[in-house]
């Protein structure tokens, strides 16, 4: 299970203040906390719609790479921001994400191919499909587009698009997302990686319920074969769940002391 830290996002007020005022020491400290908490990858978001990313994202990437050198996940569809940020990454980054909504899909695919990036493809076309068939139809089209651009399945992460459980059809979405991971594992050849933004499932819930819901959902998705999870790595409850999933999969050697150390 690959752990991608979601924490540097627009809801993080301390982080966004450091971004807008460009406070590299705070950015360095906040990203260091994520590395120390066990993040394999750090997702970096500077805006919701890409506005200003061409200036802000490269500055943040440069600070984090120079300070900690993790794998970076670039959370923008702003191609100018991607161009400027890719040159600063010392390890192949992940581009987050490509859907069927982007008008600049060919440019994103070209950047991904030319820089040997990983690419998240997301089941999104106007709306998030509710059914398994709808999710698979969008993802299959995106896989074809990526393959046509010489990006192999091994460098793709397919995202079924998770919505919160309290939404009108939230439980239907959750069930079809689980089925989508299973279908991708069973039907796509060559094999493709799978990913989910876990905390989306608990959006809008009471804060005291979020850890339990997120941890339960990640375990549910892991049972379907999920390869990567975008999570709050500072949530000790969910990091304990990550530890157990990795232990159950025989990816690490289990010890009580190590499990206690995640608390």
Q: CA-to-CA distance for 74 and 82, rounded, in angstroms?
A: 7
pLDDT value at position 262? Answer: 63
Q: What sign has the CA pseudo-torsion 253, 40, 244, 172?
A: negative
> pLDDT per residue over 135-184, tens digit each?
999 999 999 999 999 999 999 999 999 999 987 788 999 999 999 999 99
CB 6 within 8 A of CB 197: yes
pLDDT value at position 257? Answer: 85
Distance separating the N- and C-terminal Cα atoms of the chain: 19
- Which residues does the chain have with pLDDT short of 70? 262-263
The model carries a pTM of 0.96
pLDDT value at position 258? Answer: 84
Pair type for strands 156-159 and 2-8: unpaired
Helix locations, the chain, DSSP H: 13-20, 24-37, 53-67, 79-86, 105-114, 132-148, 170-187, 207-223, 236-248, 256-261
Q: CA-to-CA distance for 155 and 140, rounded, in angstroms?
A: 15
- Measuring CA to CA, which residue among 112, 36, 27 is closest to residue 74? 112
Q: CA-to-CA distance for 221 and 229, rounded, in angstroms?
A: 9
pLDDT value at position 169? Answer: 84
In order of start, what are the domains of the chain with their CATH numbers? Answer: 2-261 (3.20.20.20)
pLDDT value at position 135? Answer: 98
3-state secondary structure of 119: strand
């Amino acid at each position: 299970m690959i752990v991608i830290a979601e924490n540097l996002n627009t809801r993080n007020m301390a982080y966004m203040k450091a971004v807008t005022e460009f406070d590299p020491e705070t950015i360095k400290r906040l990203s260091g906390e994520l590395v120390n908490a066990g993040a394999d990858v750090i997702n970096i978001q500077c805006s919701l719609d890409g506005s200003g990313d061409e200036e802000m994202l490269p500055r943040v990437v440069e600070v984090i790479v120079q300070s900690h050198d993790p794998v970076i996940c670039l959370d923008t569809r702003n191609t100018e921001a991607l161009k400027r940020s890719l040159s600063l990454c010392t390890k192949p980054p992940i581009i987050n994400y490509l859907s069927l909504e982007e008008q600049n899909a060919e440019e994103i695919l070209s950047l991904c191919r030319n820089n040997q990036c990983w690419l998240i493809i997301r089941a999104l076309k106007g709306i998030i499909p509710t059914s398994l068939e709808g999710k698979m139809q969008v993802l299959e089209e995106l896989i074809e587009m990526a393959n046509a651009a010489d990006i192999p399945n091994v460098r793709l992460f397919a995202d079924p698009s998770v919505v919160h459980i309290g939404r009108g059809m939230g439980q239907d979405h959750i069930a079809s997302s689980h089925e989508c991971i299973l279908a991708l594992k069973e039907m796509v050849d060559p094999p493709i990686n799978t990913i989910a933004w876990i905390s989306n499932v608990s959006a809008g819930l009471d804060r005291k319920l979020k850890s339990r819901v997120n941890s339960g959902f990640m375990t549910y998705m892991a049972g379907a074969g999920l390869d990567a999870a975008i999570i709050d790595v500072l949530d000790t409850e969910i990091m304990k769940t990550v530890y157990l999933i990795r232990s159950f999969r025989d990816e690490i050697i289990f010890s009580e002391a190590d499990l206690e150390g995640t608390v």
